[in-house]
């Protein structure tokens, strides 16, 4: 089967632009005529440094990332960032509390520690908006690391939706930890696009805005660089590269610099241990990664190169529109697929509520979820070269992932098949 004969709608790892892969095959063998391939050269070589700088700059350009933000590359995957956000922001929260207590009681260390223990015990809260299986996993990881009593599930989308994901509760129903002077939650976390459940936040939540806004962490693994983002509203944005950006192997973190030394100091590992809080691995420590320009340890430079090529492709394609150019195309592809599904309500049912339908992962059922009919639908699609449409194993059904590398031609062919199937 030729690559050009199929369109792949897998949810991740996901398709990459063919031109990038063709060049990748070359650079693996011989990078810039050095006679050595890109996976063979040092991550500290001038070539690797140039790739890192270029990739960083492409992301900064695309998303208009302000100067007071840093871009980090880690090998954590998306899931590693579930832990990294907790480790890093809890350590900052604890140190702030320690400094304040020390101001009040002077340098009586025993007294500081006793008071701090009480404050951690009573006040440490991490807020999670659970809107799908990935934010659920992130909240479970937080509970594993700091203890369930410190995790406040401020919204659980299953509650008012018959026990299933597929909606986002309205903000007046959220129970966020109150913002107080010098207090509030260590972080507020949400997943911007839930890959399994096909739920995407239509916009940044209003209740997380304002001068005294909490530190917001967002997982953008499956909708990274697919729409404009007001980066300033976030403390941390992260995503695994393997959906919209590149191949598996790296995660990208956009981090507010005020969370790094000298602006913010994390609590020392000794102090965290005394408070029975876990100490994170050094490879997830944002200050360490930032200080070393993402080269604390061996960074897979080939993966960074792929991400860079994909992003430079978008920079070149959309010019001053930047990511807005891709956003228009993503929206249009998603619109045409959803419109077709909606046209045949007797055949198709989109799973999530209309108000939160993901532009990236289009989840639907065929004939009410009849297993044989869905199997037949998938088999028919495969015959037409439309691959990777099976829903996630935990929820079943059909999922068409509409990432950036899915071409308009691919989306149109899917629409054509949806029409044909419905009419048959
Ligand atoms: N977050 C989201 C939204 C995802 O879709 C995924 C993976 O599919 C992850 C996190 C986990 O990423 P990884 O497998 O790189 O840990």
Domain boundary at 303, 331, 349, which? Answer: 303
How far is ligand 1, taken at its centre, from the CA of residue 212, in Å?
A: 30
Query: Is residue 397 in contact with ligand 1, taking CB distance under 6 Å?
Result: no
**pLDDT of 147-182, one tens digit each?**
999 999 999 999 989 999 999 999 999 999 999 877
How far is ligand 1, taken at its centre, from the CA of residue 134, in Å?
A: 7
Domain CATH code at residue 11: 3.90.1150.10
The full DSSP string for 166-205 is S----GGG--PPPP-TT-S-SEEEEESEETTTTEE-SS--
Q: Are residues 331 and 271 in the same domain?
A: no
How far apart (Å, rounded) are the C-alpha atoms in residues 41 and 27? Answer: 11
Strands, sheet with 348-350, edge to edge from the N-terminal-most edge strand: 348-350, 361-366, 398-401
How far apart (Å, rounded) are the C-alpha atoms in residues 18 and 32? Answer: 20
> Does 262 sit behind a cis peptide bond, omega within 30 degrees of 0 on the bond before it?
yes
Average pLDDT for residues 350-364, to the nearest whole number? Answer: 98
Domain boundary at 269, 303, 337, which? Answer: 303
Residue 107 has pLDDT above 90, yes or no: no
Three-point CA angle 137, 154, 238, nearest 5°: 45
Q: Which helix (H) or strand (E) holds 50?
A: helix 46-63
Average pLDDT for residues 209-213, to the nearest whole number? Answer: 93
Residue matched to tokens 């029975």: 276
How far apart (Å, rounded) are the C-alpha atoms in residues 42 and 171? Answer: 49
Query: Is residue 191 in contact with ligand 1, taking CB distance under 6 Å?
Result: yes
How far is ligand 1, taken at its centre, from the CA of residue 33, in Å?
A: 36
How far apart (Å, rounded) are the C-alpha atoms in residues 313 and 414? Answer: 25
Q: Are residues 340 and 241 in the same domain?
A: no
How far is ligand 1, taken at its centre, from the CA of residue 309, in Å?
A: 22
| pLDDT for the residue 183 | 81
Query: Is residue 132 in contact with ligand 1, taking CB distance under 6 Å?
Result: no
Which residue's CA is minimally distant from atom 10 of ligand 1?
78
Query: Is residue 219 in contact with ligand 1, taking CB distance under 6 Å?
Result: yes
Strands, sheet with 216-219, edge to edge from the N-terminal-most edge strand: 69-74, 251-256, 236-240, 216-219, 187-191, 126-130, 151-156
Domain, as residue range, for 63: 55-303
Average pLDDT for residues 194-214, to the nearest whole number? Answer: 96
C-alpha to C-alpha distances, 196 to 260, 357, 410, nearest whole angstrom: 33, 12, 21
- Region of residue 64 (left: phi > 0; alpha: psi -120 to 50; beta: else): left
The full DSSP string for 348-388 is EEESS-GGGB-SSEEEEEEGGG-HHHHHHHHHHHHHTTEE-
Average pLDDT for residues 365-393, to the nearest whole number? Answer: 97
Contacts of 374 (CB under 8 A, 6+ apart): 365, 366, 367, 396, 397, 398
Q: What is the mean pLDDT of the chain?
A: 97
Q: Are residues 116 and 257 in the same domain?
A: yes
Residue 18 tokens, joined: 């063919």
| Percentage of the chain modeled with pLDDT above 90 | 98
How far is ligand 1, taken at its centre, from the CA of residue 240, in Å?
A: 6
How far is ligand 1, taken at its centre, from the CA of residue 370, in Å?
A: 28
Q: Are residues 85 and 224 in the same domain?
A: yes
Residue 363 has pLDDT above 90, yes or no: yes
Residue 213 tokens, joined: 């806004």
Average pLDDT for residues 9-25, to the nearest whole number? Answer: 96
How far apart (Å, rounded) are the C-alpha atoms in residues 21 and 56? Answer: 20
| pLDDT for the residue 83 | 98
Domain boundary at 303, 335, 364, which? Answer: 303
Phi first, then psi: give them for residue 141, nearest 5 degrees.
Answer: -65, -40
C-alpha to C-alpha distances, 323 to 13, 30, 215, 357, nearest whole angstrom: 21, 31, 24, 20
Say how many domains are in the chain.
2
Query: Is residue 240 in contact with ligand 1, taking CB distance under 6 Å?
Result: yes
Residue 416 has pLDDT above 80, yes or no: yes
Q: Are residues 326 and 285 in the same domain?
A: no
Q: Are residues 146 and 259 in the same domain?
A: yes
Query: Is residue 77 in contact with ligand 1, taking CB distance under 6 Å?
Result: yes
Beta partners for residue 240, in sequence order: 251
Pocket test for ligand 1, best of 10, 12, 13 (most atoms within 8 A of CB): 12
Q: Would you say residue 33 lies in a domain?
A: no
Q: Are residues 95 and 138 in the same domain?
A: yes
- Whole-structure pTM value: 0.98
**pLDDT of 35-55, one tens digit each?**
999 999 999 999 999 999 999
Query: Is residue 361 in contact with ligand 1, taking CB distance under 6 Å?
Result: no
Q: Are residues 145 and 218 in the same domain?
A: yes
Q: Are residues 157 and 223 in the same domain?
A: yes
How far apart (Å, rounded) are the C-alpha atoms in residues 27 and 39? Answer: 9
Pocket test for ligand 1, best of 13, 76, 78 (most atoms within 8 A of CB): 78
**pLDDT of 113-151, one tens digit each?**
999 999 999 999 999 999 999 999 999 999 999 999 999
Cβ 286 vs Cβ 84: under 8 Å: yes
Q: Are residues 281 and 417 in the same domain?
A: no
Query: Is residue 195 in contact with ligand 1, taking CB distance under 6 Å?
Result: yes
Domain CATH code at residue 68: 3.40.640.10
How far is ligand 1, taken at its centre, from the CA of residue 241, in Å?
A: 9
**pLDDT of 308-331, one tens digit each?**
999 999 999 999 999 999 999 999
Query: Is residue 49 in contact with ligand 1, taking CB distance under 6 Å?
Result: no
Q: Which helix (H) or strand (E) holds 73?
A: strand 69-74
Q: Would you say residue 37 lies in a domain?
A: no
Q: Are residues 351 and 207 in the same domain?
A: no
Q: Would you say residue 317 lies in a domain?
A: no
Residue 88 has pLDDT above 80, yes or no: yes
Q: Would you say residue 28 lies in a domain?
A: no
């Amino acid at each position: 089967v030729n690559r050009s004969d199929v369109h792949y709608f897998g949810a991740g790892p996901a398709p990459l632009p063919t031109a990038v892969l063709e060049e990748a095959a070359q650079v693996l063998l011989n990078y810039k005529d050095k006679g050595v391939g890109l996976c063979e050269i040092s991550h500290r070589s001038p070539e690797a440094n140039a790739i890192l700088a270029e990739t960083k700059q492409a992301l900064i350009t695309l998303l208009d990332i302000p100067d007071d933000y840093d871009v980090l590359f880690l090998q954590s995957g998306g899931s590693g960032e579930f832990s990294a956000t907790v480790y890093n922001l809890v350590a900052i929260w604890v140190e702030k509390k320690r400094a304040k207590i020390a101001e009040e009681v002077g340098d009586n260390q025993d007294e500081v520690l006793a008071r701090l223990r009480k404050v951690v015990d009573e006040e440490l809260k991490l807020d999670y908006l659970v809107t799908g299986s990935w934010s659920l996993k992130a909240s479970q990881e937080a509970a594993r690391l700091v203890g369930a009593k410190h995790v406040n599930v401020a919204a659980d989308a299953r509650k008012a939706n018959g026990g299933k994901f597929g909606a986002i509760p309205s903000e007046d129903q959220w129970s966020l930890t109150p913002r107080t002077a010098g207090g509030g939650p260590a972080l507020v976390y949400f997943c911007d696009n839930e890959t399994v459940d096909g739920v995407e936040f239509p916009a940044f939540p209003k209740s997380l805005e304002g001068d005294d806004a909490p530190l917001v962490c967002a997982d953008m693994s499956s909708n990274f660089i697919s729409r404009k983002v007001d980066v300033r509203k976030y403390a941390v944005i992260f995503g695994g590269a393997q959906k919209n950006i590149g191949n598996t192997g790296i995660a990208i973190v956009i981090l507010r610099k005020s969370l790094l030394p000298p602006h913010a100091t994390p609590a020392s590992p000794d102090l965290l241990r005394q408070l029975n809080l876990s100490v994170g691995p050094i490879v997830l420590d944002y200050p360490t990664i930032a200080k070393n320009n993402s080269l604390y340890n061996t960074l897979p430079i080939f993966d960074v190169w792929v991400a860079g090529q994909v992003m430079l492709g978008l920079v070149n394609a959309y010019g001053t529109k930047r990511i807005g150019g891709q956003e228009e195309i993503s929206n249009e592809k998603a619109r045409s697929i959803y419109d077709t599904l909606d046209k045949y309500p007797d055949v198709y049912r989109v799973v999530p509520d209309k108000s939160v339908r993901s532009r990236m992962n289009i989840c639907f059922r065929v004939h009410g979820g009849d297993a044989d009919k869905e199997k037949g639908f998938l088999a028919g699609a495969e015959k037409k070269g439309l691959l990777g449409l099976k829903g996630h194993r935990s929820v079943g059904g059909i999922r068409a992932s509409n990432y950036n590398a899915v071409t308009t031609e691919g989306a149109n062919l899917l629409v054509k098949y949806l029409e044909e199937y419905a009419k048959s």
